[in-house]
Amino acid sequence: MTLPDRAQIVVIGGGIIGCSTAYHLARDHKADVILLEQGQLTSGSTWHAAGLVGQLRSSASITKVLKYSVDLYKRLDQETGLETGWKMSGCLRLATNQDRWTEYRRLATTAQSFGMDMHLLSPEEARAMFPLMQVDDLVGASWLPTDGQASPSDITQSLAKGARMHGAKIFEHVRVTGFDMKDGRILAVKTDRGDIACEKVVNCAGQWARQIGAMAGINVPLQPVKHQYVITEKIDGLSADAPTIRDPDRRTYFKEEVGGLSFGGYEPNPQGWTTGDIPDDFEFQLFDDDYDHFEQHMIQAIARVPALEHVGVKQMINGPESFTPDGNFILGPAPECINMFVGAGFNAFGIASGGGAGWVLAQWVIDGEAPLDLWVVDIRRFADMHRDRQWVNDRTLEAYGKHYAIGFPHVEYESGRPRIVSPLYDRLKAHRAVFGSKLGWERPNWFAPEGMEPQDIPTMGRQNWFDAVGDEHRHVREKVGIFDQSSFAKYEVSGPDALAALSHICANDVTKPVGRLTYTQLLNTRGGIEADLTVARLADDRFYIVTGTGFRTHDLAWIREHIAEGADVRIEDITEAHGTLSLMGPHARDVLEKITSADVSNAAFPFGHVREIDIAGHTVRALRVTYVGELGWELHMPIGATGEIFDALMQTGKPWDIRPVGYRALESLRLEKGYRAWGSDITPNDTPHEAGLGWAVRRNSNTGFVGQQALATITGQPLKKSFAGFVIDDPDAVLVGRETILRNGQPVGYLTSGGYGYTIGKSVGYGYVRNEDGVSNDFLEHGDYELVIAMERFSARIGLKPFIDPANARVKA
């Protein structure tokens, strides 16, 4: 078949993700789509995937994506006439210890929050579902009846046929050799059979996605890892509708396959394949069987299912799967190229994700923005550090090894650290800092008192650092503390059209006079919150933007993408050029006025302003702003001056007992004050009005801003969900997020974040209360509330205002 020389969209890769994306582009959007596969459909990693299909994740949006996959697989054969091998066998997850059991109780609560039905079973009930299983070591099991299994190749072929039925063209044995590009945009896809001019490219090339991306200057940080499983001969007594089993404490999984069992696992000593390029001709190939490495799974599998000891092995599968440094897959627009989208790195659950991932990716390609909150899988969560192949390999292998680890809250990765440190790293270490990592930056989570080991000890209950963080929290409320926030992402936007560009992008009014700060959201066309940041006006045509560490790539890309073509605007990422120290607490002004000649009185330096002041002989950009609910300033300085300024602040602040404070205290402080966190409390699924941030949206704008029309459409209509806070008096309650909110005994939502408020002495959580008929203040206030924590109900009280006053921390809870 002759290759067309033009198409609207070219999809690269004929595995399940590429075929699903092409299918949805053609079916839902009537797009002119060409799919290119260098070998045959499914010949990369799809054909040898195990085919387990689970649905529950900690993200409501990703759970929705996986549920969509199941719904699609159930009915796809009716549309195409090709079977998918879908079997809703349900899934048992086994627990052999109390920590795992607590994790499952929390998962069952999350499932309830997301409208799914997960059951908690006794060992005997679990064995009744799978009689061949040994259960003497079990505490219990969870049961999700709507999970199942499918045939990866059959699904892919069915999706491919569906794509063709809706007009997509699929070409096998066509190898992409490069791209014709201009000004960061792909004009044509180059292949060994000719060039194809196109408007957009979707890179679904699986383990080759990194190489395909590199041809366009795009980084796709994934690592192929050798993953093994075996298929046994027929086992007497094994039912054809036996449930799939995940046995994480033994690091293994099982599924029925043609009368036998298919089983494998995730070992703590995984084997990466290569940090170099994958051979183009690696088609329908496997690695040699490695029974020495697989022995650990064999031993554990036999202990769980003793019948396996006497059953022959029909086949061992040892093939590469694409994994990522954080265990989440990769979707979305590449920040380096305006018209390439990526769908790759599915961490061995590409079959479970395939249907839904293709659905949302197709919508993303057409609209230019995600249809849901897909931040946890957004390619823009990565940064330049992820171009380091060895670092990606090391971190990915750690993530693989932890695939079945207990999901303790607050656990940090350990590999590849320290990667980026602020000038204060050694100083803070001397203060007994316990560091965490965010986008490569080492940041102090908490400080260990003398006599206490400076390390996290993971647990499902109160953490070992609970009291130490409480001391830091109270210190900021009562005295003064310093936070090293040098990892903040920082940009300068300048040029004759800078003000007009930012006015179009920002929901709040950034036309304030020079010297003013603006807290604002950046909205999508649905009115959802895509970013949450501060904009300081330094001059008529120059602005300073500060946002969260992890959002550096995402927010910069969003701003760039929404500046009008031809506008005279310059954007510079200056994150590493500036250190940031946040001076917070009721005595912050006492310290600051002793160390600078500038007038920092409230009259001269009000809240929401920016000034240049002198500290220790250096010019410092001071922003009067707070994220803890106390008097404070963010001090931005040349990175080389950070250590000297920190030392001067610590010396000057001695009379007020100044001390460094960590991020976990920051979290508890912001929870008490009700400050929202982007990515959890506020997301692209939430509008400012639903989030209680309508005050940060300008009204009657003549210039218009992105999302304004969507907000205007819903203005005056009853809100269907509304952000609210909750406190629990019970001292044993531990909130971590995703707990179900009950109003008058009925589920109305779930917590988006949770923690402990040391000033009020209670657990604090936030979430959205939902009601299709409208959520008014009267509806919120006149209800009896409970929070479901690990399937136990706790009485709760709702709060529509901060639980403390900002100035004097007076308890209101």
Q: In terms of DSSP bridges, do strands 194-203 and 6-12 run parallel, antiparallel, or are they unpaired?
A: parallel
- Residue 443: which of 480, 400, 484 has the closest Cα? 484
Q: Which amino acid is at 633?
A: W
Is the pLDDT at 184 greater than 70, yes or no?
Answer: yes
pLDDT at 53: 83
Chain segment 20-79, per-residue pLDDT in tens:
999 999 999 999 999 999 999 998 888 888 778 888 888 889 999 999 999 999 999 999
Chain segment 127-155, per-residue pLDDT in tens:
999 999 999 999 999 999 999 888 889 99
Distance CA 182, CA 179 (A): 10
Query: Does residue 14 form part of some domain?
Result: yes
Query: Does residue 296 form part of some domain?
Result: yes
pLDDT at 304: 98
pLDDT at 46: 86
Query: Does residue 235 form part of some domain?
Result: yes
Distance CA 488, CA 661 (A): 16
Give the model's confidence band at 813: pLDDT under 50 very low, under 70 low, under 90 confident, else very high: very low
Chain segment 487-536, per-residue pLDDT in tens:
999 999 999 999 999 999 999 999 999 999 999 999 999 999 999 999 99
Chain segment 358-406, per-residue pLDDT in tens:
999 999 999 999 999 999 999 999 999 999 999 999 999 999 999 999 9
Same domain, 582 and 617: yes
Same domain, 696 and 785: yes
Is the pLDDT at 810 greater than 70, yes or no?
Answer: no
Which residues have a Cβ under 8 Å from the Cβ of 170 and sit 6 or more positions away? 14, 19, 22, 34, 35, 37, 41, 160, 163, 164
Is the pLDDT at 462 greater than 80, yes or no?
Answer: yes
Domain holding 97: CATH number? 3.30.9.10
Domain span at 643: 578-656
Query: Does residue 635 form part of some domain?
Result: yes
Same domain, 773 and 716: yes
Give the model's confidence band at 197: pLDDT under 50 very low, under 70 low, under 90 confident, else very high: very high
- What the block records as the tokens of 103 is 């994790």
- Residue 269: which of 231, 319, 316, 226 has the closest Cα? 226
- What the block records as the tokens of 357 is 């991932």
Same domain, 79 and 95: no
Distance CA 181, CA 89 (A): 48
Same domain, 161 and 66: yes
Query: Does residue 700 form part of some domain?
Result: yes
> Average pLDDT, stretch 437-464?
97
pLDDT at 806: 54
Query: Does residue 746 form part of some domain?
Result: yes
Same domain, 106 and 45: no
> Average pLDDT, stretch 538-559?
98
Same domain, 285 and 304: yes
In this structure, are residues 446 and 466 in contact, taking their beta carbons and an 8 Å threshold? no
Domain holding 164: CATH number? 3.50.50.60
pLDDT at 57: 83
Same domain, 76 and 177: yes
State phi, psi for 76 to the nearest 5 degrees: -60, -35
Which residues does residue 584 pair with via DSSP β-bridges, in sequence order? Answer: 481, 632
> Average pLDDT, stretch 448-459?
96
Domain holding 614: CATH number? 3.30.1360.120
- Residue 557: which of 344, 362, 381, 364 has the closest Cα? 381
- What the block records as the tokens of 732 is 């044993």
Q: Above pLDDT 70, what percent of the chain?
A: 99
State phi, psi for 307 to the nearest 5 degrees: -60, -20
Of 267, 293, 318, the residue at which a domain comes to its end is: 318
Same domain, 638 and 786: no
Distance CA 799, CA 99 (A): 31
Is the pLDDT at 613 greater than 90, yes or no?
Answer: yes
Same domain, 173 and 293: no
Is the pLDDT at 746 greater than 60, yes or no?
Answer: yes
DSSP 624: -
Name the one residue in this structure whose structure tokens are 């209670």: 762
What is the DSSP secondary-structure string of 287-335?
A: PPP-HHHHHHHHHHHHHHSGGGGGS-EEEEEEEEEEE-TTS--EEEE-T
Overall number of domains in the chain: 4
Same domain, 195 and 128: no
Q: At 45, is the secondary structure helix, strand, or coil?
A: coil
Of 300, 318, 336, the residue at which a domain comes to its end is: 318
Of 264, 283, 318, the residue at which a domain comes to its end is: 318
In this structure, are residues 639 and 552 in contact, taking their beta carbons and an 8 Å threshold? no
Same domain, 212 and 350: yes
- Residue 738: which of 95, 103, 66, 70 has the closest Cα? 103
Domain holding 790: CATH number? 2.40.30.110
Is the pLDDT at 113 greater than 90, yes or no?
Answer: no
pLDDT at 808: 46
Which residues does residue 620 pair with via DSSP β-bridges, in sequence order? Answer: 613
Distance CA 683, CA 373 (A): 6
At what angle are helices 663-673 and 466-478 packed, to 10 degrees? 60
Query: Does residue 508 form part of some domain?
Result: no
| Mean confidence (pLDDT) of the chain | 95
Cis amide leading into 418 (omega within 30) = yes
How long is the chain? 813
DSSP 571: E
Query: Does residue 566 form part of some domain?
Result: no
Is the pLDDT at 809 greater than 60, yes or no?
Answer: no
In this structure, are residues 63 and 397 in contact, taking their beta carbons and an 8 Å threshold? no
What is the DSSP secondary-structure string of 709-726?
A: HHHHHHTTSPPSEEEEEE
